[in-house]
């Protein structure tokens, strides 16, 4: 199964990262510095439409941890809800 997400590519220091287009962040550095590696990983999965339970299962985390991380991601990026990630 292939999942396609409308993303733009960010090339930074040799690391290619995908950033959901809905994130209205002018400077790519903001995306990289605002979120931890784990938050970027969770944001990417949430942007693909995965729910907290599935993200938790894939990453071996508690569902409450994922919920907390998603809350932090939205707050840090100034987004209103997780739909804004996609």
pLDDT for the residue 5: 40
Nearest to 72 by CA among 35, 41, 28, 25: 35
pLDDT for the residue 68: 96
Please report whether residue 2 resides in a domain.
Answer: no
Provide the token pair at 33: 């510095």
Give the domain CATH number at 26.
1.10.10.10
Please report whether residue 37 resides in a domain.
Answer: yes
pLDDT for the residue 15: 41
Nearest to 82 by CA among 47, 53, 56: 47
Count the alpha carbons within 13 Å of 45 in the hemisphere toward its beta carbon. 19
pLDDT for the residue 86: 76
Please report whether residue 1 resides in a domain.
Answer: no
User: Residue 80 sits in which domain range?
Assistant: 7-85
Contact 85, 79 (CB under 8 A): yes
Please report whether residue 66 resides in a domain.
Answer: yes
For every one of its 86 residues, what pLDDT tens digit does the chain have, with 9 covering 90 and above?
333 444 444 433 334 445 544 444 444 556 667 899 999 999 999 999 999 999 999 999 999 999 999 999 999 988 899 888 87
């Amino acid at each position: 199964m292939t999942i396609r997400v409308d993303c733009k590519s960010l090339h930074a220091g040799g690391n290619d990262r995908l950033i959901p287009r809905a994130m209205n962040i002018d400077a790519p550095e903001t995306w990289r510095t605002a979120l931890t590696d784990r938050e970027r990983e969770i944001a990417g999965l949430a942007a693909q439409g995965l729910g907290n339970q599935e993200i938790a299962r894939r990453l071996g985390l508690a569902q409450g941890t994922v919920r907390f991380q998603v809350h932090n991601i939205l707050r840090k990026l100034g987004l209103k809800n997780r739909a804004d990630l996609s």
